[in-house]
Amino acid sequence: MASQQEATPALNLVMLGPPGAGKGTQAERISRTRQLPKISTGDILREAVHNSTPLGCAAKEAMEAGRLVGDDVMIGIVQERLDRADARQGFVLDGFPRTIVQARALDRMMDGRGPLVVLDIVVPEEVLVRRLATRRICDQCGSNAAVDWLNVCGKCGGKLVARVDDGVDIVRERLGVYHRQTKPVVEYYEGRPTFRLIDGNLPPDVVTGAIDAALGEAAARGVHL
């Protein structure tokens, strides 16, 4: 019995929410404080595009047009990443699943790994458009700029530039794609006892506190965190 409890992942967390909701920032904080790998499909794809890998070339056109990359590609990326040793004791997943097909695939990946905790960060659309239209990215490593970074990347020292997929027209298209294709994922999860809504239209520290409280509630319902 003890060995089974020890084998239970500390936390399998999925961060949902539209582009610009702050998923990446909050996922980074949870990863750091709970010592779990942060798995960002967006970061993986942008790195692949920057390095002109076959995956990057296949994904570039869709990303620049604000469309989602295909299910098969995304499922393969996540399956490969979750199979690595550092993810066996839990993870923080940002950017996946974005479709029902991906959500069902993730459920299959979770066999024997313990339950998923799913957080949906909610932010009004006009706030999202403003956030996204002013967001910057490192032109060297592809990292999204943190609030306290000025003109250079805090990770590699590269120059911060506007994201090619963050123009206002593309932003609106991305939000439209989210509402058409990804919002049903919320409905897929919302009946589960480990699902929580988080108000993302608040200062980052307040959002972090709400997430900590939500994880505590999930733990109280019998989830091993």
Q: What is the pLDDT of residue 147?
A: 60
For the chain, 225 residues long, the average pLDDT of each consecutive 10-residue run is 44 91 91 93 79 77 75 85 90 92 95 89 90 80 72 88 69 84 91 93 95 84 57
Q: Which DSSP string corresponds to 35-70?
A: T--EEEHHHHHHHHHHTT-HHHHHHHHHHHTTPPPP
Decide if 5 is inside a domain.
no
Decide if 45 is inside a domain.
yes
Q: What is the pLDDT of residue 173?
A: 84
Decide if 141 is inside a domain.
no
Q: What is the pLDDT of residue 85?
A: 93
Q: What is the pLDDT of residue 19?
A: 85
Q: Give the domain extent around 107.
A: 10-123+167-219
Active site residues per annotation: 23, 98, 135, 163, 174
Q: What is the pLDDT of residue 164?
A: 56
What is the tally of structural domains in the chain?
A: 1
Helix (H) or strand (E) holding 137: strand 136-138
Q: What is the pLDDT of residue 166?
A: 57
Decide if 143 is inside a domain.
no
Distance CA 118, CA 115 (A): 10
